[in-house]
Structure formats: structure tokens, C-alpha cells
Chains A and B, each alone.
Chain A
Amino acid sequence: MACALRFKNVTLGYDRHPAVHHLDGEVDTGALMAVVGPNGAGKSTLFKGIVGTLKPLAGRIERGELSAREIGYLPQAAEIDRTFPINVYDLVAMGLWHRTGPSGGIGAKARASIEEALAAVGLTGFEDRAIGTLSGGQMQRTLFARLLLQDARVIVLDEPFNAVDAKTSADLFDLVQRWHGERRTVLTAMHDIDFVRANFPETLLLAREPVAWGRTSNVLTPDNLLLARRMCEAFDEHAGECLERAV
């Protein structure tokens, strides 16, 4: 099976301190994969590496024919200025950037797809609402609508169901499954272990380095989870240089 993402001894981090250490492996095209690990395990760091906003300290991330910019990405805490005077419709329309660029028009077809995306996340009728008036769950629905329009082959979601109610997360997970059905590759950082066991075929357990990666039932064993918690040791200001598998 073709692979969408390939990690070659990737180390990602900040200021030379690794947050994800020596990751090797492949994500198959069309995979639905959960990334699980305690806070500080490096999940967000890994995602920033995948979408190219963080350069690896060592190793390589291969994205097949995709460029980093073609990967759909929902960050954990979007840097959205909620006071900016813009409405839901325009924020969602940003998802069409890859088709419109800075000055392309938004024609009848594009408008129909925006309406469709809004309907898919249950926000029909919210077009003219200022983004500052949305609740947390409505904002997350808006961002999913924007992701829908991006029409990306690889989608990376960083804890998308945090701080949203059960109905919202169920609705939004329906979209994730729809993407999975369309053979898109979806990576999702998750904390809800039971939910992952029930819904994700594949899991990467991360604790600053990979603990286990594969079929969810083989990965999320009590032993592995305990190991992951222990391995999330603190950031050491005076850490020495890492010589393991130096390239």
C-alpha cells in the first residue's frame, strides 16, 4: 500500500531540546490514526513537523507528492483573533485559498461548496454571524467547515474534540469518518483512550519518543500506557548532546 507520510529517524524540538525523539515509520494512504500520549508527549510538536511549520532537528519527513502546504491542519489552539470583524461565511471561505489564491473570485460553484460545508457541520443560517459571537463548539464546527473546503488528501487534527460537548464531538467525528471513507489520510491527537479503542484502527503512542505504533488493540495495552506515563520526563535545561543513532 502506498504511504502518505514517512518518518525517517525524525527528531523534532525547540532550541535543540528534542520533544519528539527518533521517530521512524510510515502512515499508509487512507489510514485513520490516533496519536495518543500524556501532555507534553510531543503530539503537537509532531503535527507541526508534519505540516512544515517546525523544521526537524534531525532526520526527514517525506510527504509523497504532497507539499506541506497541501496538508489540512487544525491546531490545538488556533491563533484566531476572535475580535476581528469578519463573519462565519468569510472565515470558512478561507478554506478555498488553494483554489482562489490572493485574488481569484468566488463564483457560484464555490459559493455552493461553502454552503455545503456549512450544512455539513450544522451551521446553516450562521453565515452572517460575527466570529466573536460564536461559542467554543460553534467555532470548532466553523473550523471543520473550513477544513472540508481545503479538500486535503492528508488531514491533521490536534485534539479537535477538547472542550466541546458530546453532540458536537459526535457530529465532527462523523466528518472524520467521512474523510476516512473517501480514502483521505487522517491523523488525530486524542486523550480519550476508550474513544480511540472504539473508533481508530491504528494508533501511535507517543511519550517524547515512540512507545508503540500499530493496531490500536496491540498499542493501547496497560503496560504500554504505564510506560508512556513514566517516559514523559521533564525538559532538562542542561541536557547533553544526543549521540544515539547520530546521522
Chain B
Amino acid sequence: MLYGLLAAPFTEFEFMRRALAGVLALALGAGPIGVFLMLRRMSLVGDAMAHAILPGAAVGFLLSGLNLFAMTAGGLIAGFVVALLTGLVTRATELKEDAALATFYLLSLAVGVTIVSSKGTNVDLLHVLFGNVLALDDQTLLLIAANATISLLVLAVIYRPLVMECVDPGFMRAVSCAGGPAHLAFLVLVVINLVSGFHALGTLLAVGIMMLPAAIGRFWARDITMMVLIATAAGVAAGYAGLLLSFHSGIASAPAIILVAGALYIGSLLFGRVGGLLRQLVPGRHLEA
């Protein structure tokens, strides 16, 4: 009975196994990235970037159909162009980074929707917006796994300068010039993880597997290492449970995964050990020292 509920969908259907592999790889890369986005107060940057990659993917799609490499390359190019223009405008004018990013991602999104709606069909638009985690082919699966691997390896290399840059940018500048490149490498990781996420979950929900687990981690851990581990575990759990929910109830799988993550988040918000609402309402007697 339990086996039928929890394991059988994956043992019996190959598309479910593929979906599970894809979602797990996605969660492994996106968890740590999300934690750093959150700690750098860039939680909404991921969302904006996810919108920004849409026109690139759309152009790739129109040029060569549902071709993985065309859509991925298009998405990457659009993401990097928007990131670059944002950086340039921020440095050259009075506009702050958030405003500069907002202008470019909205433009990019408008261009993307125009292209998709004038040339494609509604089905295509849905595919781009909501992804297709139940139909991951070998290439897409490899891409997602490769992106997760690259993310973890690069993060391992830039982890120390990145943390130092977050905690004390002035000190980092004074002792080393590694802070800037680390930040740049981190932004590249954000974009490649969004591209992975967009194949599986679509541009709109790709950020969900990054930011919701990160916020969950914040409610349970006081140090960054634990936060990353909890966030990753939460992403993995949401991916697995979301696929099951989708399989048994017929809800579309991408929103099902994010909904499960959302439920975990609300639970953490209420009962979290670090600053959860219940803890604040019923703090217990104060301590001796």
C-alpha cells in the first residue's frame, strides 16, 4: 500500500524516474544558489532573471523548434545580456541596480511574449512558461545534471571569497581582488541554474526551487553551512513529494513541486526554530544568562 503510494510511480513509469532524476539534480544546484541570493538580499533578482531569459529561449524555439541547445543557448545569451546591461547602466548612471534590472527584464519579457504569441501556438507558450518535467529527454536530463555538477564544483571553489564578500565586502576588497570575479561567477551560476529550471519547471516557477528552500533553511539554521544543507534537502523533498502529488492527483507537476515547497515553507514560518512565528509568540521564560 505504502509502496504503491510512494515508490510504485517511479518503479513502474520511466517518465517519472526521469522527472525525479531531473528534479533532484535541479534541487542540488539550486539550493545553495538560492541561499546566497537570499543572504545577498537578491531574492527577487532570480525572478527577474528568469523572466529575462524567456525571449532568448523563445527565439531559439522559433528558429529550430523544441531543440534543446537552441533554446538553452538563447536563454543563456538573453540572461547574460540583461545582466551585463544592468551592470553597465548601474555603473554609468544614477539608476540603482534594482531599477536597472527591472527595466531590462521587463523589456526582455515583453519581447519574448511578443515573439512567442505572434509566431507560436498557445501550447508552445505554455511549454516555455511552465516547463515540461514529465517529458525530459536524455539531452535535457544531461544538461540539468551537468549544470548541477558545474554549480557545485564552482561553488566549492568560490565559496570562501563569496562568503567573505557577503559578510564584509570592504575587507575583501582590502585583502584580495577575488571578490569581484567570485560575484560574477556566482551570477553565471544563477543564470545556468535558471536555464535548467526553465526546462523542467518553466520560466515562471524555476525560481521557486531556488528561493523557497532557501527561505526554509533560514528558519532552521543559524550558520550558513547548515542553511545550505537544509535548503538542499528541502528542495529534494519538495521535488519528490511534488511529483507524487502530481501523479496521484493529476495537478500539473511543476506547480505541484512548488506548492509542496510552499507548504514546507509555511510550516517553517510557523514552527521554525530560528525566528519562527510560534517561537516569537510563545518564547518561554527568559534564561539565567
Contacts and interface: CB of A to CB of B under 8 A. Distances in A.
Interface of A: 51-53, 69, 71, 73, 75, 78-81, 84-87, 91, 94, 97-98, 100, 102-103, 130-131, 146, 150
Q: How large is the interface on B (under 10, 10 to 19, 20 to 34, 35 or more residues)?
A: 20 to 34
B149 to A, nearest CB: 18
Given A79-B168, A81-B167, A87 B223 contact: yes
A129 to B, nearest CB: 10
Nearest to A156: B174
13 contacts: A51-B174, A53-B170, A79-B169, A80-B168, A81-B167, A84-B166, A85-B223, A86-B163, A86-B224, A94-B164, A98-B175, A102-B160, A146-B171
Given A102-B157, A130-B222, A130-B223, A86 B174 contact: no
A146 to B, nearest CB: 8
Grouping DSSP codes into helix (H, G, I), strand (E, B) and loop, the B interface class, with mixed when no group exceeds half, is helix
Contacts of A86: 163, 167, 223-224
B158 interface: yes
B95 interface: no
B39 interface: yes
A53 B174 contact: yes
B122 interface: no
B169 A85 contact: no
B178 interface: yes
A119 to B, nearest CB: 21
B221 interface: yes
Most chain B CB neighbours (cut-off 10 Å) among A78, A87, A102: A102
Contact of B175 (A69, A81, A103, A131): A69
Most chain A CB neighbours (cut-off 10 Å) among B161, B171, B222: B171
B132 to A, nearest CB: 36
B167 A84 contact: yes
A85 B175 contact: no
Contacts of B167: 80-81, 84, 86, 91, 94, 131
A216 B66 CA distance: 77
Contacts of A87: 223
B280 to A, nearest CB: 16
Given A85-B39, A102-B178, A130-B223, A94 B157 contact: no
A75 B157 contact: no
B32 to A, nearest CB: 13
Contact of B168 (A53, A81, A102): A81
Interface string B141-164: 000000000000000011011011
A96 B112 CA distance: 48
A131 B224 CA distance: 12
Contacts of A79: 168-170
B230 to A, nearest CB: 11
Nearest to B225: A85
A60 B160 CA distance: 33
B168 A94 contact: yes
Contact of B224 (A53, A85, A100, A103): A85
